[in-house]
Amino acid sequence: MSQTLTDADADTPADLVTVPVRPPRDPGEYRATTHFQQNLRDRVPELDRSELPRRIIEDGTATRQLSLDALDLSVGGAPVAFTEGVDGDPWTVVVALRPEAFVDADRLHRALTIYQGTPSHEDGGATDE
């Protein structure tokens, strides 16, 4: 789903991104939060740390992330979960799609957390496969 943005929209960044929206699949469009980096070190074997998040973002199924209890959303944006099966086990990366990152190449979306398992969804609404 593409969105058309006007100069008037730029005055209300909270209105620029709604879910569903097609999440970027380029891992370079995300900046890792401190929480993400800590979870990556704690949960992912060192051998897989550079490749696993990239694979999940590029190839995973993207869905709205509605269970937000453990996430710091102070970075703003719409939370989306990417989930991909790796060696028979599901892994999930949760990101925040930030409105300004869709219109300003110098701004990045945020990678919030990574964990083994599938996300909890209140409605199961998919945004992109």
**Tens-place pLDDT, residues 67-115:** 666 566 666 788 899 999 988 899 999 999 988 998 898 999 999 999 9
Q: Note the maximum CA span of the chain.
A: 47
pLDDT at 22 over 90: no
For the chain, the domains span 9-122
Q: Which residues, other chains included, contact 109 with Cβ-Cβ below 8 Å and sequence gap of 6+?
A: 23, 24, 29, 30, 31, 77, 95, 96, 97, 98, 101
**Is pTM, for the whole model, over 0.85?**
no
